[in-house]
Amino acid sequence: MEGAARSRTHAWECRWAALFTEPLGEPRSWLHSYDRFAFDAFIQTQIALTLPPLPPPALIVRRGWRFARPKAGRTAPTVAERNPLCRFGRLGARRADPQGPWDSSEPRHSRPSLIWGPHSMVVLHSSKVPVHSPRCQTDMDPSTEPLSDPTPGDLCGSPPSAAAPRKQIRLQERRGSNVSLVLDVSSLGTVEPLCSISTPKETILHLLRTSTRPLTASQLKEASGQAQALDKEYQKIPPNFVNSSELDIPGHALKDRYKTILPNPETRVCLQTPGTDGKAEGYINANYIRGYGGAVKCYIATQGPMRHTVGDFWEMVWQEESSIIVMITDLKEKKEKCVLYWPQKEGRFGRFDVRVTAVRECGGYTIRDLSLQVGSESRQVRHYWYSSWLDHQTPDCVEPVLRLVWDVQHEREALTHRGPTIVHCSAGIGRTGCFIASSIGCQQLQHTGEVDVLGIVCQLRLDRGGMIQTSEQYQFLYLTLAQYSRQLSQSRHGDRGRSNTSQTDRKAQEDHHTPATAAQLQDP
């Protein structure tokens, strides 16, 4: 009888193996008519007669297929349950519970599964292997009871026992009632505020506002010769360039010489359109720059005028009542750097009549006196043109730059009405930044005997991004201020020597006249 049972089992195995070796797809039509529970009972009976019981858990492996029992309590199988085949590697590893991944401490309700080995079919049970179900069973569905874990006796052929009724844990019972969500803050006392999270822009601005390195004359002389240390110091300064999204001005790109060099919105010069009472604003790529001691609107840094922005440039000169223009670029350096925005003798630019009244050369730069007239009102403007300083480079000698800085400074001090000094090169950040930084640094050395080059550059970049464009320009700034510090020290020693000489001569003269006067007083 045992041999006959084994033959029947082997026959069933061959018949069902042919079915499961087919690729996954629509199940055989005759498979729908099978009574699932009767089939399970038949298989369990055959296993009980032919094989000894296997202790759980057992690994489910055989061609990646398995046969799952339907959920308890359902009378009619669903459409998905009519297909008893499910891919273990693709669907069986997914959890039916949508609340998250499996946890070893979480109870799971596994089900008997049909597999077969080389010679027989077995029904195995493993509490560690999740069982896929077409429909998820959650705590929110109290009508669905989980299947109970089968006992080892179930694997020996006895039908599985009915699941004991279990009380479902409802959502509020599991997560707490709404009363427990009320917090009593009266007993907390003084609570420290949360630390604010700084954005990258705020971090850059904070670094530019707080960076400083005051140097005496001797320290400046020593630092000016350390090229590598100055390069590292320069690389650490944030450029503070402006993104185009921060500048919400329609059509501004048409008036920008370089698309990546834009004015800082906080210090941007806004042109007031004539006849609109200040209600309409025009755009120009220019920024107000603070001077020595943080004096506001001491300079204006701007780009070199283009053909269609020459009128805007002269409009800014008239609006800001500027009397000094410093130009540090040639008109063309391989490419156009600036257009000629003044006439040879007389010319009209927009609504302004410009006339050249005087021209003179001064050791490396040219000075022009211009007359700017609108209607019956005219103003005098002095134009300084330093053309030998090429873009992204430094001059061979610092003396012409120092001379230009002091000529502009003396001219500014002589003015009764001091509007902003307008400085421009091509982009308005490299050579322009060097000139303004040199001017501020010279004033610091003159008044305090110290200079903070790092602090000056950081202040300039707060007002206009990218000022001092290269590391070589930063080192040239140190050399220029170190040279001025030596000249200032020599001039002070010379003044002190001249002062001592004058005091000695005056004392000798007093000593020479005193005896003669006494003799005259004693002589009858």
Q: Which residues are marked as active site?
A: 425
Cα 143 to Cα 110, 138, 140, 147: the distances in Å are 19, 10, 9, 13
Residue 391 is labelled as binding a ligand: yes
Torsion angle in degrees (nearest 10) through CA of 436, 440, 443, 447: 180
Contact between 304 and 339 (Cβ < 8 Å): yes
Residue 419 is labelled as binding a ligand: no
Cβ atoms within 10 Å of 117's Cβ, excluding its own: 11
Contacts of 301 (CB under 8 A, 6+ apart): 286, 287, 289, 423, 424, 428, 429, 432, 433, 436, 463, 464, 467
Residue 429 is labelled as binding a ligand: yes
Residue 430 is labelled as binding a ligand: yes
Torsion angle in degrees (nearest 10) through CA of 194, 200, 206, 209: -170
Nearest Cα neighbor of 84 from 31, 154, 160 is 31
Cα 252 to Cα 31, 169, 241: the distances in Å are 74, 64, 16
Residue 441 is labelled as binding a ligand: no
Distance from C-alpha of 441 to C-alpha of 60, rounded to nearest angstrom: 82
For residue 322, which phi and psi values (nearest 5 degrees)? -80, 140
Map residue 243 onto helix, strand or coil.
coil
Task: Give residue for tokens 């060099």.
Answer: 261
Residue 425 is labelled as binding a ligand: yes
Tokens of 246: 């921060």
Q: Which helix (H) or strand (E) holds 358?
A: strand 352-362
Residue 469 is labelled as binding a ligand: yes
Distance from C-alpha of 95 to C-alpha of 129, rounded to nearest angstrom: 10
Residue 428 is labelled as binding a ligand: yes
Map residue 105 onto helix, strand or coil.
coil
Query: With left for phi above 0 and alpha for psi between -120 and 50, is residue 249 left, alpha or beta?
Result: beta
Hey, what amino acid is at 99?
A: Q
CA triple 441-447-452, angle to 5 deg: 35
Contact between 36 and 84 (Cβ < 8 Å): yes
Distance from C-alpha of 434 to C-alpha of 457, rounded to nearest angstrom: 9
Contact between 271 and 312 (Cβ < 8 Å): yes
Distance from C-alpha of 240 to C-alpha of 249, rounded to nearest angstrom: 19
Q: Which residues are documented as binding site for substrate?
A: 391, 425-431, 469
Q: Which residues are documented as binding site?
A: 391, 425-431, 469
